[in-house]
């Protein structure tokens, strides 16, 4: 197969794009692929991190937004691990837990792209370290239950859930409550 750009050299790169359900194919030779930016001169294989750092560059790289003239991200570095903003952009990785704070203002757009628009964790919580957070979440889920029960006019059950919430708010350990429920 010939390269579809220069029509001379054999095509060595075959790309299939899926965009909104439409499929398109590109067949190009190595030279044209380099020239048109399908691939970069790079000895190592393209990794997820290269892709990510591409995202970072895109957000705040060479074409940074003129609407934020005072914004000088390149001077930032993490006070805990000393990772610089530039290092973070190049590797696409954080150096330590504190980097999430240090580079927080750049974080949401990136996370949204990587995680289908999500920026907040809703899953598991390390119980021992974050007893209060876990409790907050348990109360939250009881509240949702309560609303549903009231809507369904299950008032007896609703009253029981309301008492559970009260008990938790008055300082009872939610883990005690769970254990009690198991028995």
Interacting residue ranges for another protein, rule: CB under 8 A: 18, 21, 23, 48-49, 52, 80-83, 91-97, 100, 107, 110-111, 114-130, 133
Q: How far is the CA of 27 from the CAs of 33, 38, 42, 134, in angstroms?
A: 9, 11, 20, 53
Q: Which CB sits closer to another protein, 130 or 160?
A: 130
Q: How far is the CB of 150 from another protein (least distance, A)?
A: 24
Angle in degrees, 0-180, between the axes of helices 48-60 and 104-114, rounded to the nearest 10: 130
Q: Which CB sits closer to another protein, 8 or 119?
A: 119
Task: Look up tokens 């350990």; give the residue.
Answer: 173
Q: How far apart are the first and last CA of the chain?
A: 70
Q: How far is the CB of 156 from another protein (least distance, A)?
A: 28
* Whole-angstrom distance, CA of residue 19 vs CA of residue 163: 52
Q: How far is the CA of 88 from the CAs of 19, 133, 180, in angstroms?
A: 30, 29, 47
Q: Which CB sits closer to another protein, 66 or 123?
A: 123
Q: Which CB sits closer to another protein, 158 or 168?
A: 168
Q: How far is the CB of 30 from another protein (least distance, A)?
A: 16
Q: How far is the CB of 175 from another protein (least distance, A)?
A: 12
Among positive and negative, which fits the CA dihedral 69, 74, 75, 76? positive
Q: How far is the CB of 10 from another protein (least distance, A)?
A: 18
Q: Which CB sits closer to another protein, 52 or 150?
A: 52
* Whole-angstrom distance, CA of residue 1 vs CA of residue 10: 6
């Amino acid at each position: 197969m010939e390269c579809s750009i220069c029509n001379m050299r054999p095509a060595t790169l075959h790309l299939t794009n899926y965009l909104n359900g439409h499929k398109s194919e590109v067949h190009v030779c190595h030279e044209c692929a380099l020239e048109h930016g399908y691939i970069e001169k790079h000895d190592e294989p393209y990794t997820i991190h290269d892709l990510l750092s591409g995202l970072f560059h895109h957000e705040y790289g060479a074409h940074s937004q003129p609407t934020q003239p005072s914004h000088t991200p390149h001077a930032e570095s993490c006070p805990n691990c000393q990772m610089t903003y530039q290092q973070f952009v190049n590797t696409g990785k954080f150096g330590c837990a504190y980097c999430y704070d240090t580079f927080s203002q750049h974080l949401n757009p990136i996370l949204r792209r990587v995680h289908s628009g999500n920026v907040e964790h809703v899953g598991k919580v390390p119980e021992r370290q974050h007893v209060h957070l876990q409790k907050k979440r348990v109360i939250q889920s009881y509240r949702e239950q309560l609303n549903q029960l009231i809507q369904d006019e299950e008032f007896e059950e609703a009253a029981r859930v309301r008492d559970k919430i009260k008990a938790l708010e008055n300082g009872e350990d939610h883990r005690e409550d769970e254990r009690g429920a198991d028995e």
